[in-house]
Amino acid sequence: MCGIAGIVNLGNQQPITPDALRRMVSVQQYRGPDESGAYLDDHIALAHARLSIIALKDGTQPIHNEDKSLWIIYNGEVFNYPELRQELINRGHKFYTSSDTEVILHLYEEKGINFLNELNGQFAFAIWNSKNRTLILARDRVGILPLHYTIQNQRLYFASEIKALFANKEIKRLIDPESLDQIFTYWTTLPGKTAFSQIKELPPAHYMIISPYEIKTEKYWDLNFPINSETINKKSDNLINEISETLMDSVKIRLRADVPVGTYLSGGLDSSALTETVKKNFNNELRSFGIRFENKDYDEGKFQNEMVDFLKVNHSEITASNDAIGANLEKVLWHTEKPLLRTGPIPLFILSELVNQSGYKVVLTGEGADEVFGGYDIFKEAKIRNFWAKDPDSKLRPLLLGRLYPYIFKDDRVKQTLIAFFKNGIDNPDDPFFSHNIRWKNTSKIKNFFSEQIKDNTKDYDSYSELLKLLPADYSYWDTVTKSQFLESLIFLSNYLLSSQGDRVAMAHSVELRVPYLDHRIIELLNKVNSEIKINGLNEKYLLKQVFKNRLPSNIISRWKNPYRAPIHKALLNNNLNLIKDYCSEDAIKRTGIFEYSKVQKLINKLEKLDKASEFDEMALVGIISTQIISKIFIDDFKSDLDGSTKFDLFFDYRSVNEKLTNVI
């Protein structure tokens, strides 16, 4: 992984300075601490901070083609680059590096914009054509890596992270009330939005073309599902073998690196399956990493230890104490660049530091398996509620929820409350958001903490209407579980799981995450499978379990899914941390103007008296504190006159001179 940044003159005739590039790179230097480079001409400036993983000796960027008419800065990995490289050599292309970056450039030369369909990887990059003054920005299919941009002052600014845009003092820094409305509904922003006004993110599977004549954004890949009658509706040995072989190859190509590759091992099915695949087939000296919790309600150490003993891996673990979770919240928000309704990213931030200190730059992780194979409780809830909707007055059908939450159903009073909760919307199974609406509406209640000013700014805004525009034309023909899978992938996967809980907290410590379950071949294969096969009855990830049933311990295969969570109010209400004093005092609340102080204070007083808090109150607490922190560090205290201390290892200067080259060491 790396950090990229650039500025394009759209009409502004003022020259772009190297200092602007240095500031943009310096503020995200942790994304690429190994070396940096830049390209500058009369129309564009490109900068790159490199985390060297492939082609350690000759992969310094920017990289150019043979006649230096095309230039690329690139964040990511294309895992099928050796095969693509050989094809290009056979067609006469000449390479001067051994990197996957140069392969992208030559593939674009050969095939034009359709080359994106050839790439199997995770990426965000910029290609500059100096002959026709056209810039291409592109992002991988599912949004594993970030790419942000803004158009202001007749210039387009782009970068891996938003803080690099803010490093230019002319860029406005304002919290976007509509984005807050989205975050406090969906846990994150919708594709393309960020927490800040006028700052956008290129959506997954999109490219943008910026030319002297136009700026256009296009989608090059879709998360397609066939209608039920066209799906694979029967488990077969051939299907299991195809999944197994595709996953094996996905892991194999993601081990391509000139540095060691480790794995995250939580003790759950997804990470255990990946670790087994690597250990038994590719790397007998595998190093794995795991997170433990002080609070036993969240700890999965028992299952981690079982897998470590079973596989005989060299395992390292670190415990995320409540104090450590609270103490690292501000640091994590500097990297996520958006408010959080969960503390889940913080332990993974702590874990990535352990990975870095252990001398590793790359780990494989199990993200995406739940979305692709059908693993989340919300999918099973949708299945039960859809069955229940066919007989809304049934007393027996809602009892199926007890299969999902047996520990809750032991208390009859709580059971009735849960049934009443899930009955909301049961009379409208054709609602496009049937699977998620009750969750979203519950989360939306946190918006009652908003100040009158924010409520007034968003009173006419309807995020559901905006989400409707993102649904595919054939969405209404899909079954309830498939719709739920799509929504979870569209919103939660790319903008939270792979971002706030993925790339951002890993790259904070210069660690690259690779996600084999999100190989587009696996996604496309599983999307063809009927949801009744993915979730067999209420047995989630049935096909993945079939692949590994003779390869993992039976209780790892059959164990009840334990969603990854981290402590909230016990971690954040620690008086020694001063989070409440610093960010939720009357002065602090009034300064940002986002929340109503009296309601915030009432919530805090309530939580300070509780040993266990409700999910809603905990979400409200972390949402309020994190929003206050985001406002302070990015709006109030951000220094846009940063000292651009980065010294470019390679600097191509083409300002007004066609063949001028300066190397700065």
Q: Does some domain include residue 588?
A: no
Both 547 and 531 in a single domain?
yes
Does residue 439 have a pLDDT over 60?
yes
Please state the rounded mean pLDDT for residues 55-80: 90
- Which pLDDT band holds residue 1 (cuts at 50, 70, 90)? low
Q: Tell me, what amino acid is at 662? A: T
Both 491 and 508 in a single domain?
yes
Q: Tell me, what amino acid is at 496? A: Y
Q: Which residues pair with 72 in a beta bridge?
A: 63, 127
Q: What is the pLDDT of residues 175-208, one digit of tens each?
A: 999 999 999 999 999 999 999 999 999 999 999 9
The CB density around residue 486, as the number of other CB atoms within 10 Å, is 21
- Which pLDDT band holds residue 643 (cuts at 50, 70, 90)? low
Q: Which residues pair with 653 in a beta bridge?
A: 40
Cβ-in-10-Å burial (0-12, 13-18, 19+) of 102 comes to: buried
The two structure tokens encoding residue 590: 């009034």
The two structure tokens encoding residue 214: 């136009």
Q: What is the pLDDT of residues 599-611, one digit of tens each?
A: 999 999 999 998 8
* End position of a domain, from candidates 536, 558, 580: 558
CA 633 to chain centre: 21
pTM of the full structure: 0.95
Q: Does some domain include residue 651?
A: no
Both 169 and 232 in a single domain?
no
Q: Does some domain include residue 495?
A: yes
Both 293 and 234 in a single domain?
yes
Q: What is the pLDDT of residues 463-513, one digit of tens each?
A: 999 999 999 999 999 999 999 999 999 999 999 999 999 999 999 999 999
* End position of a domain, from candidates 531, 558, 585: 558
Does residue 346 have a pLDDT over 50?
yes
Mean pLDDT of the chain: 93
Give the CATH number, domain containing residue 511: 3.40.50.620
Q: Does some domain include residue 110?
A: yes
pLDDT for the residue numbered 661 = 46
Q: Is omega for the bond preceding 347 within 30 degrees of 0, making it cis?
A: no
Does residue 269 have a pLDDT over 90?
yes
Are β-strands 261-264 and 314-320 bridged in parallel, bridged antiparallel, or unpaired?
A: unpaired
Please state the rounded mean pLDDT for residues 10-28: 90
Q: Does some domain include residue 612?
A: no
Both 215 and 268 in a single domain?
no
SS3 218: strand
Across 299-380, the runs of DSSP E, i.e. the strands, are 314-320, 362-364
Both 28 and 59 in a single domain?
yes
> Can you say whether residue 108 is alpha, beta or left, with left for phi > 0 and alpha for psi between -120 and 50 degrees?
alpha
Q: How many structural domains is the chain composed of?
A: 2
Both 245 and 142 in a single domain?
no
Both 204 and 298 in a single domain?
no
Q: What is the pLDDT of residues 200-219, one digit of tens each?
A: 999 999 999 999 889 999 99
Give the CATH number, domain containing residue 107: 3.60.20.10
Torsion angle in degrees (nearest 10) through CA of 645, 648, 654, 655: 10
SS3 helix, strand, coil % of the chain, rounded to 5?
Answer: 45, 15, 40
Both 11 and 116 in a single domain?
yes
Strands ordered across the beta sheet of 650-653 = 200-201, 148-152, 155-159, 2-9, 44-50, 35-40, 650-653
Both 46 and 114 in a single domain?
yes
Q: What is the pLDDT of residues 85-132, one digit of tens each?
A: 999 999 999 999 999 999 999 999 999 999 999 999 999 999 999 999
Strands ordered across the beta sheet of 134-139 = 63-64, 70-78, 121-129, 134-139, 206-210, 215-219
pLDDT for the residue numbered 295 = 86
The Cα-based distances of 156 to 46, 210, 295 in angstroms read: 12, 9, 47
Q: Which backbone phi and psi does 57 adopt, to 5 degrees?
A: -90, -25
Sole residue written with tokens 């901070």: 49
Q: Are 451 and 596 in contact (CB under 8 A)?
A: yes
Residues 449 and 397: their CA atoms lie apart, in Å, by 36
Both 92 and 167 in a single domain?
yes
Q: Does some domain include residue 542?
A: yes
* End position of a domain, from candidates 525, 558, 591: 558
Residues 104 and 125: their CA atoms lie apart, in Å, by 10
Q: Does some domain include residue 575?
A: no
Closest CA to 600 of 610, 614, 590: 590
Q: Does some domain include residue 607?
A: no
Q: Which domain holds residue 164?
A: 2-182+192-221
Please state the rounded mean pLDDT for residues 239-257: 97
Residues 404 and 561: their CA atoms lie apart, in Å, by 10
Both 208 and 347 in a single domain?
no
